[in-house]
Chains A and B, each alone.
Chain A
Amino acid sequence: MEYTFQKSLGLSKKKFFRAPQWELKLAVRILIGFLVLYFLVAFLFLGIGLFFILRKEFPEQDPVSIINQWVIFYFGADILARYFLQNPPVTDVKALLIMPIPKKRIIRGVMLRSLSSIFNWFSVLLLLPFCIVVSIENGATYFIWSWFFAMLLITGTNNFLVFLINKNKNVAIGTLFFLAGGYLLEYYMNVPVISSIGIGFEELYNQPLWILVILLFFLAVLQLTATFLKKELFLDKGLSKKKEKIVGSKLYFLDRLGPLGGLLKNDIRLIIRNIRARQVVLVTVFFLFYGLIFFTQEIYLERPGILIFAGIFITGGFTMTFGQYIPAWDSEYYSMLMSQNLNYKRYLKSKLYLLMFSVVISMVLSLPYLYFGEKVMVLIIGCGIFNFGLGALISLFSGAYNATPLKLNVKAKAFENTKGFNLTQFIFAIPKLVLPVLVFYIPYFFLGFNAGILGLITSGLGGFIFRNQILGWIEKIYQLKKYETLAAFNK
């Protein structure tokens, strides 16, 4: 029996179609497929439009030269995105190890399969139409196509570099520092780092023979990856779990909270010790900067109705992103929680405190927005109070309907974040976002800005004062959904 690329692909196919609820997954895949299609078409148009935009904006320069100046950032971002999102498909090969298949073939299968990654397609789809346009408009076909292949080779090199750096975050941090440092040196201290690299790419364009160097480099990385994989293809090497360092063991300050402290400690440890949770918290950090898009533009500053969105995201990023997966975060051991000496009230209360605590932290971290004026700050604080009192409760409520289990220590793949995605959560985004806007906008429309803010604050305080009653009501829904949730989590 020969282990071929087709067989390797066939295994992936079976894994998908024989998974539980594959119909649902298929539906989600189709939805995501449309999303990917959208991006692909967008890139296609970007590729075609790029040439004309650049020629119009910088008529005295060759569009390819302009790209050459900046392309290092594209490749840097490519590496970073791959580091965070691309999973080398090495985990499925355990069963193949003891079969009569030469290791070389297994490795080839793994490496070929990795080429189908969406990141490679983006490069092709962006560059192919661009190069076609260039070759029609400029005519210098020979130069542009060798440049095109050089770019593809670099993309391919990135693809395999991910294998080599996958378990080493220093490389990712190094890349980030190199790009940021290069930019700062270039534009603030006049040290030509980025432009030297740009000249290198320009040389590659003008002197097609340089592609041989790129090719050599690509082949070297290819070979390196193959030998690396061959070495790692043992149960106690690359296929083994990495031993993790213990972090966050001292959280004594939470002991003061009594019985709730134990639950809160767990949640904090859950966040810092699991890949999936860390990814979600990273998104929260991005949400903190969300206001920069709106507050920097004059048009929005006169439309507080829209600014409310920014305020809600800044102060409630964690409540929304982390909150939507309550109780799925505990799905791996939910049966234990349900049969231990822990009633729903205490469980939900600890989650509510965590969410409320996160709003306070976000509000403190958002203080620098004071730079954009008092009005912006008042708006953020208003949104914060709303999220503190009511937003956290709404998130908790929506969680009762989320019975999709979550694998804690597994990365969510790019465009494959299907595990926690479901339609109900999508619908629940509406009260989370629209309600605060209404609460602000109606009094604002009739009585002005201050009345709108007062509306946010009163509803937040109302939620806070009646939290025990509302929590009791949410608890009933959790009780009602208990068996359903357990059955889904134990699948």
Chain B
Amino acid sequence: MIKAYSLTKEYGGEKVLNLSELVIPKGELFGLIGNNGAGKTTFFSLLLDLIEATSGTVEINNIMVHQSEAWKPYISAFIDESYLIGYLTVEEYFYFLGSLRGKTEVEIDSWIKSYEPFFNEEILNQKKYLRDFSKGNQKKVGIVGALIGQPEVIVLDEPFANLDPTTQIRLKSLIKEEAINNGTTFLISSHDLTHVTEVCDRIVLLDKGTVLKDIKKTSSTLKELEQYFSN
């Protein structure tokens, strides 16, 4: 699904990302962890063609992201609040994303019903603009917005941060369900080791731009990671 070959990114001569090879197969729940500055967001930005790679390539469905726009139907992302349109209401935002993926407003209306428990009655029919929502509620909107149109790959940067505990738990089951029902590939970065090991089946640990660990999740993974980070 996603392949990165000898992918590097430099800023002023300093390498912030250096991946010799990273392949993420379809349907994988891929977790990316690492301290600040490890290169998680840089990797996502390269994947979404938001920054230019210094060398190497990223492919989505065998399409090089910097050479054509044909990869855009396959992927969607929620990186931060700048992925929301502040002057729209929640419904209008969903309709807009729907229109980009060929969904009518009626289709969105019926689709959104299954996410009502996740929203916890704080999101829909609010009669206010997205810019007036709290950070946590904005995040909920952004995450569900990224699911619209069932793209094959969904990228979520720090999805658990800023969410209340109930929503964190609901988000975990939501991601698992999407993966089971639609075969969606998830790329999730997080600082929360417990959440990310619980959700993902593969964990990649980045340090200063390089892959330090690439492990299939087992019952001992959380312990292993905690040990690494406490040193």
Contact = CB atoms under 8 A, between A and B. Distances in A.
Interface of A: 241, 243-244, 246, 249, 255, 259, 261-263, 265-266, 269-270, 273-274, 332-333, 335-336, 338-344, 408-409, 482-483, 486-487, 490
B75 to A, nearest CB: 7
Interface stretch (B17-25, B90-98, B115-123): B90-98
A426 to B, nearest CB: 28
B106 to A, nearest CB: 11
Contacts of B85: 266, 332-333, 336
Interface stretch (B125-133, B165-173, B191-199, B209-217): B125-133
A282 to B, nearest CB: 18
Contacts of A343: 69, 72
Could you tell me the dominant secondary structure of chain B's interface residues? loop
A270 B96 CA distance: 13
Contacts of A274: 87
Contact of B83 (A255, A265, A335): A335
Interface string B79-104: 10011111111001001111111100
Chain A contact surface mostly? helix
Interface string B4-21: 000000000000000000
Nearest to B96: A262
- Candidate in B49, B87, B92, B132 with the most chain A CB atoms within 10 angstroms: B87
Contacts of B201: none
A269 B49 contact: no
Given A244-B128, A335-B79, 20 more contacts: A241-B132, A244-B132, A246-B89, A246-B128, A249-B89, A255-B105, A265-B96, A274-B87, A333-B84, A333-B85, A336-B84, A336-B85, A340-B72, A340-B97, A341-B101, A343-B69, A409-B87, A482-B49, A483-B51, A487-B51
Find the residue from A269, A274, A332, A333 having the highest chain B CB count within 10 A: A333
B100 A262 contact: yes
Interface of B: 48-52, 69, 72-73, 75-77, 79, 82-89, 92, 95-102, 105, 127-129, 131-132, 149, 151
Contact of A273 (B75, B101, B105, B129): B129
Contact of B50 (A244, A249, A409, A486): A486
Nearest to B104: A255
Nearest to B102: A259
Nearest to A342: B100
Contacts, number: 92
A383 to B, nearest CB: 32
B86 A342 contact: no
Contacts of A487: 51
Contact of A339 (B75, B101, B128, B132): B75
Given A261-B99, A409-B131, A266 B49 contact: no
A341 B132 contact: no
A159 B102 CA distance: 53
A333 B131 CA distance: 12
Contacts of A263: 99
A341 B72 contact: yes
Given A246-B128, A259-B99, A339-B76, A333 B83 contact: yes
Given A266-B96, A332-B86, A342 B72 contact: yes
Contact of A408 (B72, B84, B86, B149): B86
Contacts of B97: 340
A262 B129 contact: no
Contacts of B48: 335, 338-339
Contact of A269 (B88, B101, B132): B88
Contacts of B51: 483, 486-487
26 contacts: A244-B128, A244-B129, A244-B132, A246-B128, A249-B89, A265-B92, A266-B85, A269-B92, A274-B87, A332-B86, A333-B85, A335-B48, A338-B48, A338-B49, A339-B48, A339-B49, A339-B50, A339-B75, A340-B76, A341-B72, A341-B76, A342-B72, A343-B72, A344-B69, A482-B49, A486-B50
